[in-house]
């Protein structure tokens, strides 16, 4: 009996040992250490010893004032077959001379740092190269060329305005979720703010506040079609009133110009590259101002809430176009079309009778109620219950006013539908 028990024990031990060996034979179930999942296709190598990182130094931070050192650049290698990060080196100088990878397609990125939404004097440089690993072969990556990726912004006042300000002025710049405020010492000093950029296009929102000619003054505006890698200089000008306007409140006008980055890095060159001006000389631009709120700030609207939201628009030369673009996460062009609306429309010139009828049903002025008008109330209160209809989301109303002197002003009304708050 003891012999039988001993035999059973030996058999069980052998079976368990075999199972254990089988289980440990491939603990990652066919996936390699990098997580690329290409172990069945073999391996190859990439030679990194000759890889260099170059930076197109169109602009140097003026706080820097020296050549860029890429030794501390971050290096990341991704598999483009499955969009996985397979290797990261926090410093370029720590890269190995040669690296073994599974067969497949890859990209290698070099970046100056992990970019933040907004930073003072910190240009973000990034470059990418692609390569392919073939079985039992060695490939190489030569040069990774890096370029400026974020948006550089500087601000200034023209000479007339500099003589009138009280020293308490500030200019706040917002791009996406990034925000920086230039105080009196920053304005006109050349100090630069750098803002993270979306891939396609960006909107710069600008807010001036301070005492001008003894009067507290606020001016807000926005500029669209700004791309990463650009330097924008925003200049505020004091509008000199004509004889008939004497006694009216102080008016400011802002112009956003694209700056030659190379000229900025070499101040002896011509600084400003003129663009198509949004304001004609000798005329005043339209204004777009929130009633009881700062149009630069996002407004929260509870689901099913009818919230009073009014935007006051002025155009001394009379309105020619009042264009609205709805950029929404949930109110897509298809959904808006299904209820007779459009994601883009001109209240002065609706595209068709059905659209005009739908706009009127929401309380919007159209046609002759807009054309030639110098002061207009853009009230979207009746639209607010629709915001949360298809889920909680963010909605941007990009408002562009063109007056009859072809001056243009654009502002973005940002709304966010949220869940109902409990009592």
Say how far apart CA 189 and CA 225 lie, in whole Å: 26
The CB density around residue 155, as the number of other CB atoms within 10 Å, is: 26
Pull the structure tokens for residue 36: 């690329």
Every domain of the chain and the residues it spans: 39-147, 151-275, 288-418
pLDDT at 255: 85
Which SS3 state, helix, strand or coil, does residue 238 take? strand
Which SS3 state, helix, strand or coil, does residue 151 take? strand
State the DSSP code for 349. Answer: S
**Which residues does the chain have with pLDDT short of 70?**
1-40, 57-67, 240-250, 260-284, 422-423
The CB density around residue 47, as the number of other CB atoms within 10 Å, is: 15
Residue range 39-147, CATH number = 2.60.40
Q: Do the two domains 39-147 and 288-418 of this chain adopt the same fold?
A: yes
The CB density around residue 185, as the number of other CB atoms within 10 Å, is: 9
For the full predicted model, state whether its pTM sits above 0.85.
Answer: no
Say how far apart CA 383 and CA 222 lie, in whole Å: 23
pLDDT at 19: 38
The string of DSSP codes covering 317-348 is: T-EEEEEEEEEESSS-HHHHHHTT--SEEESS
**What's the Rg (C-alpha) of the chain?**
30
Look at residues 416, 396, 243, 400 and name the one whose alpha carbon lies nearest to residue 328: 396
Say how far apart CA 241 and CA 220 lie, in whole Å: 19
Say how far apart CA 351 and CA 390 lie, in whole Å: 26
pLDDT at 283: 54
pLDDT at 134: 95
Task: List Cβ neighbours of 26 (8 Å cut-off, separation of 6 or more).
Answer: none
Q: What is the largest CA-CA distance in the chain?
A: 121
Pull the structure tokens for residue 205: 């929102």
What Cα–Cα distance (Å) separates residue 228 from each residue in 48, 125, 225, 270?
29, 11, 10, 22
Look at residues 180, 279, 193 and name the one whose alpha carbon lies nearest to residue 232: 193
pLDDT at 55: 83
CATH fold of 288-418: Immunoglobulin-like (2.60.40)
Say how far apart CA 39 and CA 333 lie, in whole Å: 45
Task: List Cβ neighbours of 69 (8 Å cut-off, separation of 6 or more).
Answer: none
In degrees, rounded to 5, the angle at the alpha carbon of residue 118 between the alpha carbons of residues 227 and 165 is: 95
Which SS3 state, helix, strand or coil, does residue 304 take? coil
């Amino acid at each position: 009996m003891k012999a039988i028990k001993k035999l059973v024990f030996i058999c069980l031990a052998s079976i368990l040992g075999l199972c254990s060996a089988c289980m440990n034979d491939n603990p990652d179930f066919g996936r390699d250490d990098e997580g690329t999942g290409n172990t069945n296709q073999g391996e190859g190598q990439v030679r990194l010893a000759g890889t260099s990182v170059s930076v197109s130094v169109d602009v140097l931070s003026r706080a820097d004032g020296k050549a860029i050192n890429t030794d501390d650049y971050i290096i990341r290698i991704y598999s483009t077959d499955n969009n996985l990060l397979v290797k990261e080196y926090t410093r370029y100088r720590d890269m190995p001379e040669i690296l073994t990878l599974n067969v497949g397609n890859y990209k290698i990125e070099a970046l100056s740092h992990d970019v933040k939404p907004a930073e003072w004097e910190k240009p973000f440089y990034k470059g990418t190269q692609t390569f392919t690993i073939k079985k039992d072969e060695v490939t190489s990556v030569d040069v990774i060329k890096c370029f400026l990726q974020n948006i550089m912004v500087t601000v200034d006042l023209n000479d007339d305005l500099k003589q009138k300000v009280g020293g308490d002025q500030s200019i706040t710049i917002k791009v996406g979720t990034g925000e920086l405020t230039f105080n009196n010492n920053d304005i006109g000093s050349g100090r630069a703010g750098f803002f993270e950029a979306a891939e396609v296009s960006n909107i710069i929102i600008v807010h001036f506040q301070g005492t001008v000619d003894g009067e507290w003054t606020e001016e807000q505006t926005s500029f669209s079609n700004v791309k990463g890698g650009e330097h924008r200089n925003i200049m505020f000008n004091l509008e000199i009133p004509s004889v008939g306007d004497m006694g009216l409140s102080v008016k400011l006008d802002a112009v956003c110009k694209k700056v030659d980055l190379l000229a900025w890095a070499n101040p002896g060159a011509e600084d400003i590259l003129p663009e198509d001006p949004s304001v004609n000389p000798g005329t005043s631009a339209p204004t777009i101002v929130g009633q009881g709120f700062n149009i630069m700030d996002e407004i929260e609207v509870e689901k099913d809430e009818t919230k009073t939201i009014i935007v006051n628009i002025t155009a001394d030369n009379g309105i020619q176009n009042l264009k609205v673009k709805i950029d929404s996460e949930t109110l897509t062009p298809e959904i808006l079309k299904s209820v007779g609306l459009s994601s883009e429309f001109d209240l002065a010139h609706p595209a068709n009778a059905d659209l005009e009828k739908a706009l009127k049903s929401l309380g919007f002025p159209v046609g002759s109620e807009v054309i030639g008008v110098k002061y207009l109330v853009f009230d979207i209160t009746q639209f607010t219950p629709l915001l949360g209809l298809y889920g909680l989301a963010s909605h941007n109303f990009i408002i562009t006013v063109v007056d009859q002197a072809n001056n243009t002003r654009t502002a973005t009304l940002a709304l966010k539908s949220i869940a109902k708050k409990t009592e």
